[in-house]
Structure 1
Amino acid sequence: MGAVKGVSTIDAPTRSRLTRVILESGPSTAAVLADRLELTPAAVRRHLDHLITDGLVEARDQRSYGQRGRGRPAKVFAITAIGRDRFQHDYDDLAASALRFLAETGGDDAVAAFADQRMADLEERIRPRLEQAPEADRPALLARAMSDEGFAASISSTPAGAQMCQHHCPVAHVAAEFPQMCEAEAAMFSRLLGTHVQRLATIAHGDGVCTTHLPASPTTTERAPS
């Protein structure tokens, strides 16, 4: 990612790293970013202020998943569409090149193993939000968690369950060449919800959104009144 107009050559590498961490990790607090980058919170906030001024990052209120304590909610910082577009090209080229090398040296199974590991890491972050919730609430919680990871997901009810739409995919260009990425994500959804899911459309294949049918789980169906 090139230096932004008005950014010194000294600060540019740090702000590029900061942008990358937010892009890969999703909306994050200044404290989390400071820990990831091994900087002081004050230094991170200074860089964030510049990135916000340049339109590359925006501040949002942090989502609350339980009873919130007193005081103002912590701010999280997320990549804007401008920031994502500026960063996306170089990131996609690097990721695609790495996966091509992996495919050439280890074959398709190696690419699939990489995709599975990537989704396992994401699943580990998401699972605690779902495992204590009623089964009927899990699709909505999954969509919310995917949004927090940068996928801009929404959920709607259907007669046979729910349908989740992901309006953004951070790895769409890579997934267009390596469908193992989409397959691993769908498998993760199935594990988290305890039911087979059906992918109806993907951004990687040229559709406007990634759409996934999430059937009601077998136990939910069994408990439904006849």
Structure 2
Amino acid sequence: MNQELETSTRKVILSMLKTQGPLSVHDMSKQLGITEMAVRRHINTLEKDNLLEAKLVRQAMGRPTSVYSLTQLADELFPKKYMQLTMDLLGEMLEDEGHAKIDRLFERRQEKLERRYQSRMKSGSLEERVAELAHIQNENGYMVEWSQLGSGEFILSEHNCPITQVANMFQQACKCELALFQKLLDAQVERTECLAKGGSKCVYRISQNK
């Protein structure tokens, strides 16, 4: 069996579990038309990738049998429309309650993020705080790089924006990110390039408060 076919079979197994719920090796074997040994080989691979989890289920007769279901990680492989829902809700709020409400919503998000991360930024030099901020943003999917300039300033670049669609329509997102960085770093922060304004990345120039 070639690798492409094996990958295709594993995708079918994931789809079966998504649409039908927990299944045993025997159930999958019958539906796929392959041997139980072949099914187990695919299951072993999926378990190693943390995409399946097993649970023992008692039978009316005989020994308990294992049934398999998707993990949370596997569920994330299937299409989601979270961003479209967010855009729809923000659009409705803007229409019903105006820009002031949207402004306050993003400000509250900024305040929440500040409270969440402030403890990680309390001590250390500006360089250490910039490094920690880069780590935080990478945890959130921003694909960050940073470097120190000879002048003692720092450049922090975000190559990805997980909320690009929101930022494109609501500039409050970019404004609040800048304010968040200023608060967390306790430093002067200037945005010199912005993805939401046609840039290839978001770039921040950071220096000590004067």
Give 1:133's match in structure 2, choosing from 107, 124, 138: 124
Offset of 1:49 from its aligned partner? 6.5
1:186 aligns with 2:178: yes
> 1:105 — aligned with what?
96
Query: When the two structures are superposed, what TM-score results if normalisation uses the length of structure 2?
Result: 0.63
Aligned equivalent of 1:47 = 71
Three-state SS of the structure 1 residue aligned to 2:188 is coil
Structure 2 counterpart SS, 1:150: coil
| Cα distance between partner residues in 2 of 1:110 and 1:92 | 20
What value does the CA root-mean-square deviation take over the aligned residues? 2.8
Deviation at 1:153, TM superposition (A): 1.3
Find the counterpart in structure 2 of residue 198 from structure 1: 190
**Residues of 1 paired with 2:147 and 2:74: CA distance?**
37
Are the aligned partners of 2:114 and 2:180 in contact in 1 as well (CA < 8 Å)?
yes
Say which of 199, 205, 210 aligns to 2:202.
Answer: 210
Q: TM-score, normalised by structure 1?
A: 0.59
Gaps of 5+ in 2: 1-10, 23-52, 56-68
TM superposition shift of 1:135: 3.0
SS of match in other structure, 1:129? helix
Instruction: Check 1:10–1:111 CA distance in 2 against 1; reply closer, same or farther (3 A cut).
Output: farther
**Cα deviation per residue 1:182-214 (whole Å; 9 max; x = unaligned)?**
101100111111223111112222222111111
Report the alpha carbon displacement of residue 50 of structure 1 after superposing the two structures with TM: 4.1
Q: 1:200 to 1:10 in 2, by over 3 A?
A: farther
The equivalent position to 2:87 in structure 1, one of 96, 100, 117, is 96
Match of 1:155 in 2: 146
- What does residue 167 of structure 1 align with? 159
Identity of aligned residues (%): 24
Deviation per CA, 1:6-50, whole angstroms, max 9, x where unpaired? 4232559xxxxxxxxxxxxxxxxxxxxxxxxxxxx978x951574
Q: Which runs of 5+ in 1 are unaligned?
A: 13-40, 57-82, 219-226
Cα deviation, residue 154, structure 1: 1.5
**In structure 1, distance between residues paired with 2:170 and 2:126:** 32
CA deviation after TM superposition for structure 1 residue 139, in Å: 0.9
Aligned pairs, how many?
A: 153
For the pair shown, which has the larger CA radius of gyration, 1 or 2? Answer: 2
